[in-house]
Structure 1
Amino acid sequence: MKKLLTIIGMAVFSLGYSQGTIILNNYSKYDYHGFLVATNATAGCYPRVGNDGVIVVPAESHTGNNQALVYKDYQNQFTSSLYPTANWVVTQNPTGSSIMPWNDVNLAPGNTISTSTKWYATKFVMMEAGTLTAAPDDFRANINIISPCTPVANDYFATPSGNNSAEMFTIGAITYLQVY
């Protein structure tokens, strides 16, 4: 019985620190061009994982029209997401990073990197739909959810005019990035 309880406890603990899903809902009339970052907030902020190239999520792409960016993990997102990431930059310590392809065994669900990291930040600039022209009103931001790696949350952003905004938050095992 003790072994069974230990196994169940370890499984619950590992799920509690697993990467989780990220959903990016872009409700704005602009294209999102950005980066998503996950980290281990319980062990010195490493490893840290982010996409190697800019992710583009078109204007009006959200769960309401089944066009949202949804990553359930680093590997399976490549075959299941509308906006796949081919390579991930993995930073294991303050002095070393490597680029790992989406199918690298180290990024597999259940392996150390995916079980020890959680989504927590984004850096983006919004562009006029279908172009590389920056959206008006300085619609760009770095947003993060509070963690030991970023002790002050910067989880909401509004443009100077207040016409556009973005927020990042977690509910259960799902991290949401909402762009308005």
Structure 2
Amino acid sequence: MIRRILSILPLLWALGFALFVVALPQPAPDGATDAIVVLTGAPGRIERGLALLQAGRARRMLISGVNRDVRPHELALAQKVPAALFDCCVDLGREAVDTRSNALETARWIEARRYRTVRFVTTDWHMRRARYELERAVGPDVQIVSDAVKSRAGFSMLFKEYHKYLLSRLGALVGL
């Protein structure tokens, strides 16, 4: 009996990976939220968040995981947006160093501003794990709208991210 159960685990793992790859999260449809949260780390994320902010999809945006040396006006120049947009409406989170600390930094920011709806922007391959961590950090009172940035992730990136996602879920099961 144990042997049969153990023999099914590789099949479940393979099916899970296939589903992970073929059903990558997509960009969200238009709609407004209280805020936008963007995680640094891959191309297109900050651009997507700024475009949404400029289109009036939210009042304020957090960019989580920004290097301590980056200044708002430098980021505005690099993104080719008015510095005034950063002055009024963009906060730079500098505490996060990984996905879990992104979630904690974001949760503190959301709680301090009492936001109830957040558009969450990260890359498609990263969305499941990042959203899972954010949901754990903010709890059920905050509605999260996933807005995935499409990528061209290769097999190794998807393989690695799938395992990080599984480990994240397993860690939560054992209380980490």
More strand by share: 1
TM-score w.r.t. the length of structure 2 is: 0.27
TM-score w.r.t. the length of structure 1 is: 0.27
More helix by share: 2
